[in-house]
Structure 1
Amino acid sequence: MKTPPEGHQPSYQPPPPPARRRLGGVRTTWLIVGALVAALVIGAAFVLPIPLFYVFEPGPVLDVERLVRVRDGRTYSSEGGLYLTTVGVDVSVTFVDLVRAAVDEHREVILESDYTQGASDQEVLRAARLEMEQSQLNAKEVALSELGLAKPTAGVKVVETVEESPAEGRVAPDDLLLAVDGKPVCGPMDVSTLLADREVGDEVSITIRHRDRKRTFDVATAENPQLPGQPFLGVQLEQLERDFEAGEEIEFKTGRIGGPSAGLLMSLALYDQLTPEDITAGRDIAGTGTIACNGSVGPIGGVGLKVAAAEAKGVDVFLAPVGDFEEAQRVATEIEVVSIATFDDAVRYLEGLK
């Protein structure tokens, strides 16, 4: 093999470095656009609300003794606590929220239309506030009546009938509506609660006092013009004045909490403050349920979420309306769930804790 002469360089030359490619052209432009669109879509999934959907989730668990206070009267404290439970409603639901709710058993996705029933947001809030006000009156009457400090209210006043409704001509202004399907009523909310599981056109039995005469008859429900698809009696109702003893001024500080589901716990908190005995027996008691003027406890929505909230709070016992008991018990893992039909049921159970 021959070798090149000394000082002679081989003729091999290394290849030149690759030329720098400029970002440009149709393909590169589309890649950039695609990346930007993907980034925007991902960002929107976190921040942009999707209409049509709401998400229910466990809400705050609140010490109801702090929300119901007796002024100008002697009160008693308790070693334990009474807690009302709430459901949080997320009305700005994003795609990410929907995904989270799909994998979280303690979140529920519902259609906005199912929640509002055709009413505006303002109408829904107004109805919730009115339900809370009615619930406070009922809680006050039930607790004070149990203590002999109030006379039970009988009936709700008819202001007028709706034209062309089944009640027109059969119910008159100033009549007293005493009962629906044999169950006493003392406020508009009681009537709405008793009609909640009925369909438009269903017949119900109502008891009316017209002047000094009491009579019971059947009447078909009509569609509520303010809540499409919901039944009502075709009458406008007004709350009667409650007859409470002087010297027991009750103050409710429920703030923005709406709806009727705090009724049972508000009545228990008021009763507890006016009773020398500690009905909590040093335990933390949570619960939910509407309260009627006759002391009956009605079912509510979202009881599973409320049980989850109470367990997260570390509460010992959850009082659930009879109609919600099975669902509450199914969700509970550590908390004791007790079925409650009336205010007296709740008091007897709590007194048995001693």
Structure 2
Amino acid sequence: ATTGGYSNEDYMRINQYYMETSQNTATYQALTLAGKDVKLNYEGVYVLNVTKNSTFKGLLHLADTVTGVNGKTFESSQELMAYVADLDLGSKVTVQEISNGKTKEVSGKIIELPNGKNGIGIGLVDHTKVLSDVDVDFDTSGVGGPSAGLMFTLDIYDQVNNEDLRKGRKIAGTGTIESDGSVGDIGGAGLKVVSAAKSGADIFFVPNNPVDKEILKKDPDAKTNYEEAKEAAKDLDTDMKIVPVTTVQEAIDYLRSTN
């Protein structure tokens, strides 16, 4: 079966890359906070999709790893995107990549993206590798995408630091995790509150980042993840505590300071 040009296998691979990135970042952040020796190697970005108007259509494919642009390498996908955004519209750009285990170089042009910025028209996620003597295994049955990053980090940290952050409480939450410890927004915050409340959670962590200015221009009533979660909790009339966070350290501090 296919949807929007992607097969079920493609979607499974895309989810796998998101999960790999989320787990690696969570592991790195948790071990770093616990004072363990750990390094997060950035190996490029996985290509998740190529837009119809991209001049790289047919040149870059799902699962290719972009390792550089115009011979330059980067330390994160944000750096790569920022570099490409500063290139002139219509200018030639050369991408270094690994495809099916082979190093290649392909060329195209800078296009205008739907958000008004310049780019090459690919969806991407970091391709990383964790280097540490601490082995971390994940049981992710029923979990998909990057939104479990915060909770992955808290669970790993609690175990490797030999600290009982739970204190008998049932803790739930959502939010992506970045290598600097910041917690990123997710979709469907209200729905996740409903699920957590039904499971009997006592605490629900949720991102509390400002709404992007561009989104506010299009939708002045757009809510933060925290506002969505609070609204859903009020409708449910639940006693579950909705806790806003912008970093994993804030979540750790909250759990330490409360019972």
The alpha carbon displacement at 1:347 in A equals 0.7
C-alpha contact (below 8 Å) 2:193/2:204 kept by paired residues: yes
C-alpha contact (below 8 Å) 2:46/2:126 kept by paired residues: yes
The alpha carbon displacement at 1:159 in A equals 9.3
C-alpha contact (below 8 Å) 1:285/1:316 kept by paired residues: yes
| CA distance in structure 2 between the partners assigned to 1:238 and 1:327 by the alignment | 28
The question of 1:171 aligning with 2:69 is answered: yes
Q: Which residue of 2 aligns with 1:316?
A: 202
Aligned CA distance change for structure 1 residues 171 and 300 (closer, same or farther; 3 Å): same
Q: Which residue of 2 aligns with 1:328?
A: 229
Tell me which of 233, 252, 258 is aligned to 1:347: 252
The alpha carbon displacement at 1:320 in A equals 0.5
| CA distance in structure 2 between the partners assigned to 1:310 and 1:151 by the alignment | 32
Matched AA of 1:337: I
The question of 1:124 aligning with 2:11 is answered: yes
What is the aligned-residue identity percentage? 33
Bigger RCO of structures 1 and 2 (CA < 8 A, at least 6 apart): 1
User: Unaligned regions of 5+ residues in structure 2, if any?
Assistant: 57-67, 83-111, 209-223
* Post-superposition CA distance 1:70-118 (Å, at most 9, x none): xxxxxxxxxxxxxxxxxxxxxxxxxxxxxxxxxxxxxxxxxxx9xx665
Aligned CA distance change for structure 1 residues 294 and 238 (closer, same or farther; 3 Å): closer
Matched AA of 1:331: A
| CA distance in structure 2 between the partners assigned to 1:128 and 1:178 by the alignment | 19
| CA distance in structure 2 between the partners assigned to 1:260 and 1:315 by the alignment | 21
Matched AA of 1:350: L
* Post-superposition CA distance 1:116-151 (Å, at most 9, x none): 665343322221121111111111101001112134
Tell me which of 262, 283, 287 is aligned to 2:148: 262
User: Unaligned regions of 5+ residues in structure 1, if any?
Assistant: 1-112, 185-197, 204-219, 225-230
Matched AA of 1:126: R
Q: Which residue of 2 aligns with 1:146?
A: 33
Matched AA of 1:313: S
C-alpha contact (below 8 Å) 2:176/2:186 kept by paired residues: yes
C-alpha contact (below 8 Å) 2:24/2:129 kept by paired residues: no
| CA distance in structure 2 between the partners assigned to 1:278 and 1:183 by the alignment | 39
* Post-superposition CA distance 1:14-42 (Å, at most 9, x none): xxxxxxxxxxxxxxxxxxxxxxxxxxxxx
Larger radius of gyration: 1
Residues 1-354 of structure 1: pairs in structure 2 closer than 5 A: 119-153=6-40, 155-157=42-44, 164=55, 171-173=69-71, 175-178=73-76, 180=78, 199-200=113-114, 202-203=116-117, 220-224=118-122, 239-244=127-132, 246=133, 248-322=134-208, 323-332=224-233, 333-334=237-238, 335-354=240-259
Aligned CA distance change for structure 1 residues 342 and 125 (closer, same or farther; 3 Å): same
Q: Number of paired residues?
A: 195
| CA distance in structure 2 between the partners assigned to 1:182 and 1:221 by the alignment | 10
TM-score (norm 2): 0.64
TM-score (norm 1): 0.48
The alpha carbon displacement at 1:164 in A equals 4.9
| CA distance in structure 1 between the partners assigned to 2:192 and 2:45 by the alignment | 36
C-alpha contact (below 8 Å) 1:131/1:260 kept by paired residues: yes
| CA distance in structure 1 between the partners assigned to 2:46 and 2:26 by the alignment | 24
C-alpha contact (below 8 Å) 2:44/2:77 kept by paired residues: no
Matched AA of 1:200: P
Aligned CA distance change for structure 1 residues 126 and 239 (closer, same or farther; 3 Å): closer
| CA distance in structure 2 between the partners assigned to 1:125 and 1:298 by the alignment | 22
The alpha carbon displacement at 1:330 in A equals 0.2
